Structure 1
Amino acid sequence: MASYLILTPPGATSRSEVSDRYRDGTRFIRDGFSWKAFLFPTLWMLFHRLWLYAIATFLLQGIALELMRQPGFFAAGAALLLGVHILAALEGPHALGNRLVGRGWKVSNLVSAHDLATAEEIHFSQLEQEPNLDIHPKNWDIPAQNTNTSRPGPSFGLPGYDGGR
């Protein structure tokens, strides 16, 4: 099941206003692997106006192709090219969400659904049922205390989960 980050356009002040006025402007960004970004990373980033990422991708692809032409560096060039494509496919949607948030879009919701139509149905039905619901973590009652006194912090040296990505 995929998760969808739901962003509302700048200027929406309340969730009821979002449901009435900005229903058509709401963006659903699927958090996961993007085949379009994998196959055409530079074009995908240009289409989504990720200018600096597109320039970096274009330059890295050029370096990788030049490495592939040099004797003895084909494997290194192919690995770099594949790495650029995989990185664009995995992190491209996240970069798009960050760009929109940086431009004033508000994170409205995070929905797990099998497809986009189901995510839209879940999100807009929640808005109609509970228009004044605040989803920000400051209002959640989540105990965040670590009861393990012998080894405070995350286990196995892994970073802890703080509710972010």
Structure 2
Amino acid sequence: MASYLILSPAGAPNRSEVSDRYRDGTRFIRDGFSWKAFLFPTLWMLYNRLWLHAVAAVLLQGFALELMRQPGFFAAGAAIWLGVHILAGLEGPDAVGQRLINLGWTIENLVAAHDLATAEEIHFSEIERESQRDIHPKNWDISPTHTNSSRPGPSFGLPGYDGGR
């Protein structure tokens, strides 16, 4: 099962202000290996606007290819070339998410799902459920039902509770 990082653009309304099910601009980024980034790292990085990453990949791949042409250094060049591809496949999706966060996008949720459609369904159903919940309860009782004067607060820096869940 994969996990999906859900990001919304900087100017998007809050969850409670959403009336329709789908919002424009919400991005679902799968946390896992990307075959597209592995097979075509530079093109994938350019497509996802990771400019500095793409420049670094081109330089490293060029160095690796030049190293592979030198006698006795083929294995070292091939290792560097393969390392660029593996690193792009493993860390590429995370770099896209980090770029969006640096641009002001907000992290909305992290959903574990088998595929993108299931992740979208889980995320947007949670938004609908939150918008339908009554945020102003009618009978609000502040007085604690169980008090223990021997232990007035949390212990060991952990939040306390009154004996039950």
Q: Deviations for 1:15-71, whole angstroms, at most 9, x for unmatched residues? A: 133563861310000000000000000000000000000000000000001111100
Spell out the pairing of 1:129-144 with structure 2 (5 A cutoff): 129-131=129-131
Q: How many residues align?
A: 137
State the SS of the aligned residue for 1:3.
Answer: strand
TM-score where L is the length of structure 2: 0.77
Q: Displacement, 1:12?
A: 2.4
Question: Does the CA contact (< 8 Å) of 2:21 and 2:128 recur in 1?
Answer: no
* Cα separation, 1, equivalents of 2:75 and 2:33: 24
User: Which residue in the other structure is 1:94 paired with?
Assistant: 94
Question: Does the CA contact (< 8 Å) of 1:64 and 1:80 recur in 2?
Answer: yes
Q: Give 1:34's aligned amino acid.
A: S
Could you say what the CA RMSD is over the residues aligned between the two structures, in angstroms? 2.3
Of the structure 1 ranges 14-23 and 49-58, higher mean CA displacement relative to structure 2 is found in 14-23
Q: Give 1:31's aligned amino acid.
A: D
Unaligned runs of 5+ in 2: 134-154, 159-165
Structure with greater helix share of residues:
1
* Cα separation, 2, equivalents of 1:10 and 1:71: 52
Unaligned runs of 5+ in 1: 134-142, 147-165
Q: Give 2:67's aligned amino acid.
A: L
* Cα separation, 1, equivalents of 2:58 and 2:50: 12
Computing the radius of gyration from Cα coordinates, the structure with the larger value is 2
User: Which residue in the other structure is 2:126 paired with?
Assistant: 126
Structure 1 pair 80–19 and aligned structure 2 pair: CA distance change class (3 A): farther
TM-score where L is the length of structure 1: 0.77
* Cα separation, 2, equivalents of 1:144 and 1:43: 52
Identity %, equivalent residues? 75
State the SS of the aligned residue for 2:24.
Answer: coil
User: Which residue in the other structure is 1:7 paired with?
Assistant: 7
